[in-house]
Amino acid sequence: MAHTNNIDATPSAEQGGGVLPVTIAVDALGGDFAPSAVLDGVALALQRDSQLRVALCGPAEVIEPFATSSAARGRVDAHITTEEIAMDEHDPARAVRSKKDASIVVAARLVKEGAAQGFISAGSTAACLAAGTLVIGRIRGVARPTLAVVLPGKRPVVLADTGANADCKPELLVQFAEMARAYAQATLSIDNPSIALLNIGSEEGKGSELAKATQVLMKEQIHNFIGNVEGRDILDGKADVIVTDGFTGNVVLKTLEGSMFYLLAKLKTAFMATGLTKLAALVLKGSFKELKSELDPDQYGAAPLLGVKGLCLVAHGSSSPEAIANGILVGAKAVRNELTEKITAAVQAQK
Amino acid sequence: MAHTNNIDATPSAEQGGGVLPVTIAVDALGGDFAPSAVLDGVALALQRDSQLRVALCGPAEVIEPFATSSAARGRVDAHITTEEIAMDEHDPARAVRSKKDASIVVAARLVKEGAAQGFISAGSTAACLAAGTLVIGRIRGVARPTLAVVLPGKRPVVLADTGANADCKPELLVQFAEMARAYAQATLSIDNPSIALLNIGSEEGKGSELAKATQVLMKEQIHNFIGNVEGRDILDGKADVIVTDGFTGNVVLKTLEGSMFYLLAKLKTAFMATGLTKLAALVLKGSFKELKSELDPDQYGAAPLLGVKGLCLVAHGSSSPEAIANGILVGAKAVRNELTEKITAAVQAQK
Q: What is the pLDDT of residues A28-72, one digit of tens each?
A: 998 888 899 999 999 999 999 999 999 999 999 999 999 999 999
**A283, B276: Cβ pair inside 8 Å?**
yes
- Do the chains contact at A276 and B283, CB–CB below 8 Å? yes
**Alpha-carbon distance B269 to nearest alpha carbon in chain A (angstroms):** 9
- Chain A residues in contact with B230 by the CB 8 A cut-off are 251, 254
> Who's near A119: CB < 8 A, 6+ residues apart?
A24, A25, A26, A27, A104, A107, A108, A110, A111, A131, A310, A311, A312, A313
3 state DSSP class of B237: coil
pLDDT for residue A5:
32
* Reported confidence tier of residue A351, pLDDT bands at 50, 70, 90: low
Q: What is the pTM of this model?
A: 0.92
More confident: B254 or A271? B254
For chain A, what is the mean pLDDT? 91
Examine the pLDDT at A208 and tell me if it is beyond 70. Answer: yes
Question: What's the confidence (pLDDT) of residue A48?
Answer: 97
Inter-chain touch B200–A235, beta carbons under 8 Å: no
> Looking at this protein, which amino acid is placed at residue A146?
T
pLDDT of residue A299: 75
Given a cut of 80, whether residue A3 has pLDDT beyond it is no
Contact state of A232 with B258 under an 8 Å Cβ cutoff: yes
Mean pLDDT of A74-86: 96
Q: What is the pLDDT of residue B324?
A: 96
Which residue stretches of chain B have pLDDT < 50?
A: 1-16
Q: Is the pLDDT of residue A232 over 70?
A: yes
Q: Provide the pLDDT confidence category of residue A277 given band limits of 50, 70 and 90.
A: confident
Determine the pLDDT at residue B17.
52
pLDDT at A233 (0 to 100): 94
Nearest CA in chain B to A197: B251
> CA-CA distance, B283 to B286, in Å (whole number)?
7
Closest-CA distance of chain B to residue A70, Å: 40
What's B125-148 look like in SS3?
Answer: HHHHHHHHHHHHCECCCCCCCEEE
Q: Say if the Cβ atoms of B250 and A232 lie within 8 Å.
A: no
Residue A258 has pLDDT above 60, yes or no: yes
Percent of chain B with pLDDT over 70: 94
pLDDT in the model for residue B304: 97
Q: Which residues contact residue B156 at a Cβ distance below 8 angstroms, ignoring those fewer than 6 apart?
A: B150, B188, B300
Which residue among A257, A266, A287 sits closest to B277, beta carbon to beta carbon?
A: A287
Q: How many residues are given for chain B?
A: 351
Q: B258–A167: do the CB atoms touch at under 8 Å? A: no
Sign of the torsion angle spanned by Cα atoms A118, A124, A130, A131? negative
Which pLDDT belongs to residue B153? Answer: 81
Looking at residue B9, what is its pLDDT? 38
Give ipTM to 2 decimals. 0.91
pLDDT for A109: 98
Q: Which residues of A touch B250 (CB under 8 A)?
A: 200, 231
Residues of chain A contacting residue B243, judged by C-beta atoms under 8 Å apart = none
Q: How many CB atoms lie within 10 A of CB B338?
A: 21
Q: What does the H/E/C string look like for chain A?
A: CCCCCCCCCCCCCCCCCCCCCEEEEEECCCCCCCCHHHHHHHHHHHHHCCCEEEEEEECHHHHHHHHCCHHHCCCEEEEECCECCCCCCCCHHHHHHHCCCEHHHHHHHHHHCCCCCEEEECCCHHHHHHHHHHHHCECCCCCCCEEEEEECCCCCEEEECCCCCCCCCHHHHHHHHHHHHHHHHHHHCCCCCCEEEECCCCCCCCCCHHHHHHHHHHHHHCCCEEEEECHHHHHHCCCCEEECCHHHHHHHHHHHHHHHHHHHHHHHHHHCCCHHHHHHHHHHHHHHHHHHHHHCHHHHCCEEEECECCEEEECCCCCCHHHHHHHHHHHHHHHHCCHHHHHHHHHHHHC
Q: Quick check: A251 and B273 CB within 8 A? A: no
Lowest mean pLDDT among A88-92, A266-270, B26-30: A266-270
Given a cut of 80, whether residue A164 has pLDDT beyond it is yes
> Measured over all CA atoms, what is the biggest interatomic distance in chain B, rounded to whole angstroms?
65
Which whole number is the average pLDDT over A237-245?
Answer: 96
Predicted pLDDT at B305: 98
Q: What is the structure's pLDDT at A18?
A: 65
Chain A and chain B share a number of CB contacts under 8 A equal to: 168
- Are the Cβ atoms of A284 and B277 closer than 8 angstroms? yes
